[in-house]
A and B are shown apart, each in its own frame.
Chain A
Amino acid sequence: MITSTHISKTYGNIQVLNIEDLTIPKGQSFGLVGNNGAGKTTFFNILLDLIRPTTGEIINHEIAVSKSEEWKTFTGSFIDESFLIGYLTPEEYFYFIGDLRGMNTADVDTFLQPFEEIFNEEILGKKKFLRDLSKGNQKKAGIVAALMGNPQVIVLDEPFANLDPTTQIRLKKMLKSLTEDKEVTVLISSHDLSHITEVCERIVVLEKGNVVKDLNTSEETLTELESYFSA
């Protein structure tokens, strides 16, 4: 369970985020939507303790993220390409992350096997550094790395952007199956309303840092979101 209380972030006198209370139960697939500057990435950055909130705190499975680093053992994340180490090959990157998450080389190899289809022979064994891969392939590598080591919480910022259609569909399936047995909590943000309604059971709309809608996904959610954003 992730509990966020009175989280706000202010730069100078501009408030970029202000969320009163937000609780994400364990096993939920949680979606965050909003236009540019709505505060989605800021929220994720605070959750990952990459920036400090001006007020409030986030508790990730009973751990206050700004006080202890224990949450790192069960949280996997991918925010953007800057999370990749450009001068490593994808394999080396996976082994490095695996090392940090207590997986040996064989574990990593086994872990990667089911992703071979997604990688489409463009990522593994190509003798290319991550910095030289296309945006889409970089994203694939980053997302897969975020799933390593059986994380209980997975945070993905805009996971669908830049992905090819096949991978988008596979990723959607994968994210849905992850939350099926209510063990893993998945948090994603997206600009694509249809993707996010398909994957997430709950969708929160941010506007200028405030929560303006908190919906349990149903048949009408997509239409509701579309009409909200076209207004």
Chain B
Amino acid sequence: MIRHFLRLEWKQYFRSAYWQKGIALKIILGFFALYMMLTFSAMGFFAFKALKKFFPESDPLQIVNSYLIFAIVADLIFRYMMQKMPIMNIKPLLILPIQKSKLVHYVLGKSAFSFFNVMSLFFYIPFSIVLIGEGYDTNGIFAWLFSMILIIQSVNFLNFLINKNNKAFWTLVVVLLGGFALKYFNLFDLSAMSQTLFDGIVADPIMAIIPLGTLLLLYRINYKQLKSQVYLDAAVSVKVKKANTADLSWANKFGDMAPFIKNEIRLIWRNKRTKTVFLMSFIFLFYGLIFFTNPMYEEKMPTFLIFASLFITGGFVINYGQFIPAWESSYYSMLMTQNLRYRKYLESKWYLMSVITAVLFFLSTPYLYFGLDKFLMIAAGAIFNIGFNTLFLLYAGSFNRKKIDLNASGLGNMQGTSATQFLIIIPIMGLPMLLFWGFSSLFNFNAGIISIAIVGILGIAFKNYFMGLIEKKYIKDKYVTIHAFSQTT
């Protein structure tokens, strides 16, 4: 039986949309995973030395132990937000002659190998090796590492239990913040407790039986709970959210474009991935803080400040615009049978991107704190985003051939990404940087900024002309796009 399950897993993994991507994307994702692993391993290898250097009087293991409790709680909060039990996978198996208990063990067992459980081992294992190398008691360290694995697994199963419970989540947040506060005010030292606990395991390896017991207990509870819920109307059900319908009649003043604008707003707000993109664009507002607070950029690489300025107001244009019209891939053929004017359809997207960019620009006024020159950079960036990037991304969108499934999850979802997405970065970021670099080194800072703004203003002035070109391109590519969007990935 387990052989069948493993074979299914294998196929599910390698036949998932994830692997059907282009080779370039695979390599990039591969590098990203490798980078994470290397970072964690490096931390594991060098943590001992680093701690020794900064806190010569303390034992590095004891320092780590004293903070472990917070790491565990933080891990739990992170999982609470990101990790879901992969229960839907067993739906097709329910009607086959397989015992329910086996299915439940399978689901739970599978979760033990999830990404979340493996990642931190890249830290703990090298750290343990270094500890043994430094002459710590081998049995003690093995017990400690073993306990870590058990605790990670316990957190894994604890997460599933509290996943349906908001109260548990907020309790955890309060414990974490409260713990830090108590430590800060020296009232009660949670970290001392943590240290006693984990030092105890190193000193007396038999203590590892405590996390083992915890894990077995949590597994048992999960098993019991899940087994009673392996029904289509219980755990194995798709949660249907109630539709919140906001009144968007104010958008009617956009005339011909109103239906599209309303639709676009609903598209963004009611789908996970688009919503993430939208909310992220506000996070991008803070992007400038990284660059403007570091005098190195201003002195040595002012061109990179332009890069930051573009991102401050451009988060939405860049992240949303590059997937036009793929956001609507699932019903694109329906739109094409409707009596719609392509121009209005595209223009509604232009307006939406421009308005949101303008709002982001308005919100960026606090950057005046870093000086008028910084703010002017942001202003030039905003004009460029509205004038050039919106139009350019609409045009580039006609090359999008990858379907996006709106129902799929938001964060880290790369669906719809192709080589186009990497190529378009060159003009939308590179062009203004090049302009600034050229004009500011030939003339002065102001010339650099003005050159960027002028490109944007030209884009706005000749918008209708460019829109005409874009419209033609979309009409020309209509069949190819419909065909590509109807392919299931």
Question: Which A residues are within 8 Å of any B CB, using their own CB?
Answer: 48-52, 69, 72-73, 75, 77, 79, 82-89, 91-92, 95-97, 99-101, 127-129, 131-132
| Cross-chain contact of B266 among A72, A77, A84, A92 (Cβ < 8 A) | A92
B264 to chain A, nearest CB (A): 11
Closest 9 CB pairs of A and B: A99-B259, A83-B334, A87-B270, A72-B339, A127-B243, A132-B240, A100-B338, A73-B339, A48-B337
Which residues of the other chain, A, contact B336 by a CB distance below 8 angstroms?
Answer: 48-50
| Cross-chain contact of B479 among A51, A99, A127 (Cβ < 8 A) | A51
Selected A-B contacts with CB under 8 Å, 25 pairs = A49-B336, A50-B482, A51-B482, A52-B479, A69-B339, A72-B338, A72-B339, A83-B331, A84-B331, A84-B334, A85-B263, A85-B331, A86-B331, A86-B406, A88-B263, A92-B245, A96-B259, A96-B262, A97-B338, A99-B259, A100-B340, A101-B339, A127-B242, A127-B244, A128-B243
Closest to A101 in B: B339
Main secondary structure, interface of B, reads: helix
How does the 8 Å CB contact mask read for B339-377 relative to A, with 1 for contact and 0 for none? 110000000000000000000000000000000000000
Task: Determine whether B483 belongs to the interface, using a CB cutoff of 8 Å to chain A.
Answer: yes
- How many residues on B have C-beta within 8 angstroms of the other chain's C-beta atoms? 29
Closest to A155 in B: B337
A86 touches B330 (CB 8 A): yes
| Cross-chain contact of A127 among B245, B266, B333 (Cβ < 8 A) | B245
A87 touches B267 (CB 8 A): yes
Closest to A75 in B: B337
Please measure, in the bound complex, the distance between the C-alpha atom of A88 and the C-alpha atom of B264, giving whole angstroms: 11
Task: Determine whether B73 belongs to the interface, using a CB cutoff of 8 Å to chain A.
Answer: no
Which residues of the other chain, B, contact A97 by a CB distance below 8 angstroms?
Answer: 338
Which residues of the other chain, A, contact B245 by a CB distance below 8 angstroms?
Answer: 89, 91-92, 127
B344 to chain A, nearest CB (A): 10
B338 touches A86 (CB 8 A): no
Task: Determine whether B120 belongs to the interface, using a CB cutoff of 8 Å to chain A.
Answer: no
| Known contacts A48-B336, A86-B331; 16 further A-B pairs (Cβ under 8 A) | A50-B333, A82-B330, A84-B334, A87-B266, A87-B270, A88-B266, A91-B245, A92-B262, A92-B266, A96-B259, A96-B263, A100-B259, A100-B340, A127-B245, A128-B240, A129-B243
Which residues of the other chain, B, contact A69 by a CB distance below 8 angstroms?
Answer: 339
A72 touches B337 (CB 8 A): yes
How does the 8 Å CB contact mask read for B28-56 relative to A, with 1 for contact and 0 for none? 00000000000000000000000000000
Which residues from 273 to 330 on chain B have a C-beta closer than 8 Å to any C-beta of chain A?
330
Which residues of the other chain, B, contact A50 by a CB distance below 8 angstroms?
Answer: 333, 336-337, 479, 482
Please measure, in the bound complex, the distance between the C-alpha atom of A91 and the C-alpha atom of B242, giving whole angstroms: 14
How does the 8 Å CB contact mask read for B245-277 relative to A, with 1 for contact and 0 for none? 100000000000011001100110011000000
Which residues of the other chain, B, contact A51 by a CB distance below 8 angstroms?
Answer: 479, 482-483
B183 to chain A, nearest CB (A): 46
Task: Determine whether B418 belongs to the interface, using a CB cutoff of 8 Å to chain A.
Answer: no
Known contacts A99-B258, A129-B270, A82 near B331 by CB under 8 Å: yes
Task: Determine whether B166 belongs to the interface, using a CB cutoff of 8 Å to chain A.
Answer: no
B337 touches A77 (CB 8 A): yes
Closest to A149 in B: B339
Closest to B240 in A: A132
How does the 8 Å CB contact mask read for B374-418 relative to A, with 1 for contact and 0 for none? 000000000000000000000000000000001100000000000
Task: Determine whether B451 belongs to the interface, using a CB cutoff of 8 Å to chain A.
Answer: no
Which residues of the other chain, B, contact A52 by a CB distance below 8 angstroms?
Answer: 479
A94 to chain B, nearest CB (A): 12
Task: Determine whether B194 belongs to the interface, using a CB cutoff of 8 Å to chain A.
Answer: no
Closest to B336 in A: A50
Please measure, in the bound complex, the distance between the C-alpha atom of A23 and the C-alpha atom of B403, giving whole angstroms: 36
Task: Determine whether B486 belongs to the interface, using a CB cutoff of 8 Å to chain A.
Answer: yes
A126 to chain B, nearest CB (A): 8
Which residues from 75 to 113 on chain B have a C-beta closer than 8 Å to any C-beta of chain A?
none
Closest to B268 in A: A87
Please measure, in the bound complex, the distance between the C-alpha atom of A130 and the C-alpha atom of B451, giving whole angstroms: 48
Please measure, in the bound complex, the distance between the C-alpha atom of A100 and the C-alpha atom of B259, giving whole angstroms: 8
Which residues of the other chain, B, contact A87 by a CB distance below 8 angstroms?
Answer: 266-267, 270-271, 406
Please measure, in the bound complex, the distance between the C-alpha atom of A21 and the C-alpha atom of B49, giving whole angstroms: 83
B470 to chain A, nearest CB (A): 17
How does the 8 Å CB contact mask read for B115-151 relative to A, with 1 for contact and 0 for none? 0000000000000000000000000000000000000
Closest to A133 in B: B240
Which residues from 468 to 489 on chain B have a C-beta closer than 8 Å to any C-beta of chain A?
479, 482-483, 486
Which residues of the other chain, B, contact A100 by a CB distance below 8 angstroms?
Answer: 259, 338-340
B334 touches A85 (CB 8 A): yes
Please measure, in the bound complex, the distance between the C-alpha atom of A108 and the C-alpha atom of B302, giving whole angstroms: 57
Please measure, in the bound complex, the distance between the C-alpha atom of A83 and the C-alpha atom of B340, giving whole angstroms: 15
Known contacts A51-B479, A97-B338, A131 near B331 by CB under 8 Å: no
B192 to chain A, nearest CB (A): 51
Which residues of the other chain, A, contact B258 by a CB distance below 8 angstroms?
Answer: 99
Which residues of the other chain, B, contact A88 by a CB distance below 8 angstroms?
Answer: 263, 266
Closest to B256 in A: A99
Interface centre among A49, A95, A128, A129 (most CB of B within 10 A): A129
